[in-house]
Amino acid sequence: MATVLAAIVLSPTVRAHARFDVSDLAPPGFSLKYAEATHPRTSTKYSQKGHYVQKIHGLHGRTNGKSAAAVLGSHQRLTGAGFGYQNITSANAYGTQYATEVRFNGHPMYMLVDTGSADTWAVQSDFDCVDYAGESVPRVSCQFGPTYPDSFQYGALDPAQHMFIRYGDGEVVAGPMGYSDVTLGNITVTKQEVCLANTTYWYGNNMTTGVLGLAFPVLTNAYIGSGLDHSSGARIEYSPVFTSMVSQGKVPPVFSIAIDRNSSSGMLAFGGVAPASGMDTSRVAELDMLIINLNNRREASSEFSFYTIIPDGWEYDQVTNSRKYPYIVDSGTTLNYLPTKIAIAINQAFSPPAVYLWSYGAFFTQCNAIAPRVGVVLDGITFWLNPKDLIYHDWADPETSLCMTAIADGGYGPYILGDAFMQSAVVVYDVGEAQMRFIPRPYY
C-alpha cells in the first residue's frame, strides 16, 4: 500500500513546459530531482461533488511543531549547519493553524490539517501527559480537545507497531498503531493504520484531538515493537491516509485547500478543486513537484516526501529577486520561511523595520506598522500577500509589545510557503500529475 502513490507519480510522461536543472539547488544534506506522472490532470473547476468537500477552521493562538518546519528544524540541528530553523517551532509564537473534522470508527474529532507530515493520530482518553523532562503532569496541561473514547476498530497491529514522533520544538507523541476506518466528509478510508497516542508532551489549543497528516509514506514514523524504540533499524513505512484514499479508489490522486482571509475558515477538497470565492481560473500557476531527499534513504530518493516546488522568485519593496530555491507548501506552518538575506530585506522594509527576537525565532515589528508590498512569483504570476496577512495583530509580545511578522528566516532551506501565503491562492496538490497548481484569489 505504501508504494501505490509512488508508482503512480514516478512513471514517465511528457511535460508541457521546459525544465531546468535542479540538482544544484538542493541545500546541504538534501537532494532534488523531478518526479514524473501519467495520471491526467484534474480540472481547475471547483468540485461539484459535495461529499468530497469539507470545512476547515482556523485556530488562533500559540503555534507549535506539527509541520514541515519541525522536520527541517530537526534535520538542520543534526547536520550542524545554519540557524534559521532552530527556534521556529517555539510554542510561544503566535499564529493560526487549521483543523477539520475527522472520524475514527464514527467518533468525530477535530484534527490539525498538516500537509507537512504524514502520520494521523488521536490521543486516547487515558493518555499520560508529560512535561519536557518526561514527568507526568495533569492532562489539562497538554490542552487537547475531547479525547478519543474507544480502541482500535480492527485491533492493534500484529506484530506490534508503535508511533514515535519528536517534533522540532521538543513535543513528543507516542502510542500503539492499529487499524480503524477514517472518515473525512463522506469519504471513508477503510482499515487505515493510525496511532492512538498514550504519551504526549504537547502544546494544544483545547480543541483538537490530534493531527491529520496528508504527506507521503516516506515521512511516516512507525516502528516495530510495543516499546518506545525509534531507532532507524526499527522503522517501518506504511500507507498514510491520503495514499490509502487513492489506492482504495475513493478519489483521484489530488486534493486542494482554500483558506479564506479574515474569516478563519476555508475548504478542503479531496479528488478535485475546492470551491472558493474570487478564483481567477484564467491565470493558473503550474509548477512541477520535486522529490526531495533529506536523509539519504533509498526509498526517499524515488518517492515524494514533502510537497516541494521551485518558485521564480520574490518581489518586495520595488526589488525583484529571481534566484531559485526549493520551497515546501505546508498547511501546518503558519509563517513563510525564506532565505536569510531575503527574509532580512523584507523585514527591514516594514515601517518601522522589524527586529529579530531570539526567544521566538521570528521577526517582530510595531503592531501598527506599515507592511511592504510582498509577492512570490509562481510560473510567471505574482501572488501578492495581503498586508493584513504580514503582521499578526491579535497578539503582542508581553515584554516588547511588538507583533510577529509572517516572514521568517529559513536558514539554508529548504524553505516554506505556509498559511500566510496560502490565503492568497487556492492550492491544488495534484499528486497524480506530479504538479502543484495555484489559482489566484482577490488581493483584498
CATH number at residue 109: 2.40.70.10
Asked whether the beta carbons of 281 and 43 are under 8 A apart, the reply is no
Which residue is it, cell 491579535?
394
pLDDT of res. 48 = 54
If one counts the domains in the chain, the total is: 1
The catalytic residue positions are 114, 330
| DSSP per-residue codes, 235-286 | EE----HHHHHHHTTSS-SEEEEEEETTTTEEEEEESSBPP-TT--TTS-EE
Three-state secondary structure readout of 16-35: CCCCCCCHHHCCCCCEEEEC
- Measured at the CA of 63, the angle between CA 264 and CA 288, to 5 degrees, comes to 75
How many C-beta neighbours within 10 Å does residue 179 have? 17
Q: What is the tens place of the pLDDT at every residue in 40-52?
A: 666 555 555 545 8
Task: Name the nearest CA neighbour of 406 among 426, 425, 385, 382.
Answer: 385
Q: For the chain, 444 residues long, give each residue's pLDDT as a single digit of tens.
A: 333 333 333 333 334 456 777 777 777 777 777 777 656 666 555 555 545 888 888 776 655 444 555 555 544 444 444 333 333 334 345 567 788 999 999 999 999 888 888 999 999 999 999 998 889 999 999 999 999 999 999 999 988 999 998 775 678 899 999 999 999 988 999 999 999 999 999 888 889 999 999 988 988 999 998 777 778 788 899 999 999 999 999 998 999 999 887 656 888 999 888 888 778 888 899 999 888 776 555 554 456 778 899 999 999 988 999 999 999 998 888 889 999 999 999 999 999 999 999 888 889 999 999 999 999 999 999 999 989 889 988 778 889 999 999 999 888 878 899 888 998 899 999 988 889 999 998 766
Residue 57 falls inside a structural domain: no
Residue 31 falls inside a structural domain: no
Cβ neighbors of 356 (< 8 A, separation 6 or more) are 347, 362, 363, 364, 409
pLDDT of res. 414 = 82
Three cell numbers written together for 286: 503550474
Alpha carbons 434 and 111: distance in angstroms, whole number: 26
Alpha carbons 238 and 222: distance in angstroms, whole number: 7
Residue 242 falls inside a structural domain: yes
Task: Name the nearest CA neighbour of 268 among 276, 260, 258.
Answer: 258
Backbone angles phi, psi at 120, to 5 degrees: -115, 125
Three cell numbers written together for 440: 489566484
What pTM was estimated for this model as a whole?
0.87
Q: Which domain holds residue 133?
A: 98-254
Residue 345 falls inside a structural domain: no
- Measured at the CA of 19, the angle between CA 328 and CA 117, to 5 degrees, comes to 20
Residue 233 falls inside a structural domain: yes
Residue 185 falls inside a structural domain: yes
Residue 220 falls inside a structural domain: yes
Task: Name the nearest CA neighbour of 64 among 333, 331, 364.
Answer: 333
Can you name the residues that pair with 327 across neighbouring β-strands? 309, 415
Which residue type occupies 32?
Answer: L
Per-residue DSSP letter, 185: T
Asked whether the beta carbons of 347 and 371 are under 8 A apart, the reply is no
Residue 319 falls inside a structural domain: no
Alpha carbons 139 and 143: distance in angstroms, whole number: 7
73, HSE (Cβ side, Cα atoms, 13 Å): 25
159 prior amide bond cis, ω within 30: yes
